[in-house]
Amino acid sequence: MRALPLVLLLASGTAFAQEPDFSKVEIKTTKLTDQLYVLEGMGGNIAVSVGEDGVILVDDQFAPLSPKILAAVAKLSKKPLRFVINTHWHGDHVGGNENMTGAGAVIVAHENVRKRMSTKQFLKSWNMTTEAQPKAALPVVTFTSDIAFHFNGETVHVIHLDPAHTDGDSFVWFEKANVVHTGDVFSTVGYPIVDLDSGGSYFGFIAAADRFLATGDAKTRLVPGHGAVSSKADVQAWKTMLTTIGDRVKKGRDQKQSLDQIKASKPTGEYEARYGKGFMKSDRLLETVYQSLGN
Ligand SMILES: [Zn+2]
């Protein structure tokens, strides 16, 4: 898949001049509870639920990493891989789907994930084309609003969000473990990546942050699509950043400022040091905020 480095670039915040060398990637496993782990390699963070009923993965990074990911999972459980939940359609989260289907998993995602993966996608903002995916890579079970798994003595809620990163975003709430996997609707490595060409919207990130804050309790841990396992306080700080920048852009537009004038007023100001080094540079972010405001 030639578009791979660009998808990677899009989501991971790192630019690659050529195809990344997956052979050098090591999978790092972090234990959150006896039954829930996070795997980091290259691409989106993976959550792993293990227990008497088998294994559930949330997202599966890139196809070349599947053997390493499955080896890391095998160290946590000898039970079969039963389900993979995709938080959205981007290649750094669903790239291993075909291999995971081959390993016995049933892929589950919002219906828009299947729709986008089934057809050729062109992302104008990044001049990136992704071909339609083979059948074995596609979600077999789709839902429109939410779905729950009663598995491993746990209730796993998969809940669709209004358009934010894409139009097919879901977050996954492991109720007993008290952990939320947010997909790319929350990140600790940069500004939000608003994929407008996949139906995303900047303001959806703020609504989603409210959903995350309302889920679980004060001790709920959040696994972002990219970056470090976080607390509710981290999500609150993220939401404040999103709201502050959104309000500044809206104010400028209400005052009939052009996008260039808004950019010149530096609405990302105090957040540049913390978030400005990711994939989304300030100017590009402001374009997506501006466009998300509509007419
Ligand atoms: Zn993504």
CB 221 within 8 A of CB 179: yes
Q: What is the model's pTM?
A: 0.94
Q: How far is the CA of 226 from the centre of ligand 1 (A)?
A: 9
Return the percentage of the chain with pLDDT > 70, whole number. Answer: 94
Residues pairing with 171 in the sheet: 159
Q: How far is the CA of 62 from the centre of ligand 1 (A)?
A: 13
Q: What's the token pair of residue 270?
A: 């105090």
Query: Which parts of 86-225 are beta strand (E)?
Result: 106-110, 121-123, 128-130, 141-143, 146-151, 154-160, 170-174, 179-181, 221-223
Q: Which residues contact 264 (CB under 8 A, 6 or more apart)?
A: none
| pLDDT tens column, 3-30 | 344 444 454 444 444 578 999 999 999 9
pLDDT value of residue 1: 35
Q: How far is the CA of 257 from the centre of ligand 1 (A)?
A: 31
Lowest mean pLDDT among 121-130, 183-192, 223-232: 121-130
121-to-138, 159, 197, 228, 284 alpha-carbon distances in Å: 14, 24, 9, 30, 21
Q: How far is the CA of 182 from the centre of ligand 1 (A)?
A: 11
**Chain center to CA of 210:** 16
Q: How far is the CA of 99 from the centre of ligand 1 (A)?
A: 20
CB 35 within 8 A of CB 152: yes
Q: How far is the CA of 51 from the centre of ligand 1 (A)?
A: 28
Q: How far is the CA of 184 from the centre of ligand 1 (A)?
A: 5
Q: How far is the CA of 31 from the centre of ligand 1 (A)?
A: 24
| pLDDT tens column, 118-154 | 999 999 998 999 999 999 999 999 999 999 999 999 9
Q: What's the token pair of residue 97?
A: 């789907």
